[in-house]
Structures are given as structure tokens and as C-alpha cells.
Amino acid sequence: MIGIDIHRTFGEVVFWEDGRLRPAGRIDMTRTALEGFGKTLLASDEVVVEATANSLAVSRIPAPFVARVIIVNPLQVKAIAQAHVKTDKIDAGTLASLQAAGYLPQIWTPDAETERKRRLVARRYQVVRHRTRLKNDPARAPDPKVPACRSFQHPRPGVAGRSTVAGR
């Protein structure tokens, strides 16, 4: 059992072996570092991480190297949420030991197709919100001289008179 307390730039790793916790130090939250860490694990290992902003992305990288990666909601884990002494090592050790005892509630994680659709919906929402903001408040409109902003406001120079039908 391996517990990882995830932060934005690093993760604190603690192993649960033979009824004892063994701190393994920190790993960087980069693809290369996580893949390297995943290659050192056994195929029968289970990795436990807290649900944070980047936990879904982090959990996908070591998943091919271990039996399973479990994401848990820290609010449902009272031992972590109500702890008086909170350090990264203690949190990671608590995750590993509670999973070894079978006490952790796992959260639902979407499959790859559902995650792709969520990203598409989120992107569409951003585009619609941006366009609505431009229509409702022209004073907040971005500078039309910036090329990235032209697609929302003005046609590109020299394109306005062209037909959109191919071959015409």
C-alpha cells in the first residue's frame, strides 16, 4: 500500500509494509517523475491519493504500473480532516494505513471518454461566456490588434470577401 499526499509541485510518499509505515520522501508532480516512480512499484501495489485539483491527472500516470490507484475524498476521511497534527508524511501515512485496513471510501472517477466530453463542454462554456461578455459590454472587449482576439470580434484582413464554399 502506498499513500501519496499530493500538492501542486510535489507529492509526499509513504509505504505501508508489514504493518509499518516507511516514509519514501517527495516526488515531483511531473509526468517524467511520476512515470519513473510508477516503474519502481510492483504490479500488486495499490496507490492511494487524496482528491485534489490535479489528483485525476496524477492518478492516470502510475495506473499502468500498479494493481489500482484509489482516489479518496479527504472530507470523508475523518482521520485526516480532523487531525490536530497535519504534516504531509502523516497524511500520506494515514491514507496508506486506512486503505490497508479497508476503511477508505473511494470516489467515482470518469472514464477517458467521459473526461473528454467534460473538457469539451467546459471549453464551449468558456467560449460562449467570452462572446456574451463581448456583446454585452464592448468596453471590456480585448484589443482588436491582438491576433488571438480577432476571431471573436473582427474578421481577419483579406478574408472578409472570400466565399466559404470550397471551389468558388
| Tens-digit pLDDT profile for residues 14-40 | 999 888 999 999 999 999 999 999 999
Q: Strands 2-6, 10-17: parallel, antiparallel or unpaired by DSSP?
A: antiparallel
Are 120 and 141 in a shared domain?
Answer: yes
Are 89 and 130 in a shared domain?
Answer: no
Are 88 and 12 in a shared domain?
Answer: yes
CA distance 33 to 51: 20
Q: pLDDT: is 24 or 86 the higher one?
A: 24
Quick check: 151 pLDDT over 70?
no
Q: Which domain holds residue 72?
A: 2-101
DSSP state of 106: B
Pick the last residue of a domain from 80, 101, 122. Answer: 101
Q: What is the pLDDT of residues 32-67, one digit of tens each?
A: 999 999 999 999 999 999 888 888 888 899 999 999
φ, ψ of residue 73 in degrees (nearest 5): -85, 120
Alpha helices in the chain (DSSP H): 31-40, 55-60, 78-81, 88-101, 112-136, 147-153
Domain tally for the chain? 2
pLDDT band at 158 (very low <50, low <70, confident <90, very high): low
Q: Is 167 part of a structural domain of the chain?
A: no
pLDDT band at 90 (very low <50, low <70, confident <90, very high): confident
SS3 96: helix
Predicted confidence at residue 168, as pLDDT, reads 47
Quick check: 150 pLDDT over 70?
no
Predicted confidence at residue 155, as pLDDT, reads 53
Q: pLDDT: is 40 or 74 the higher one?
A: 40
Are 25 and 86 in a shared domain?
Answer: yes
Are 88 and 125 in a shared domain?
Answer: no
Q: Is 161 part of a structural domain of the chain?
A: no
φ, ψ of residue 115 in degrees (nearest 5): -65, -40
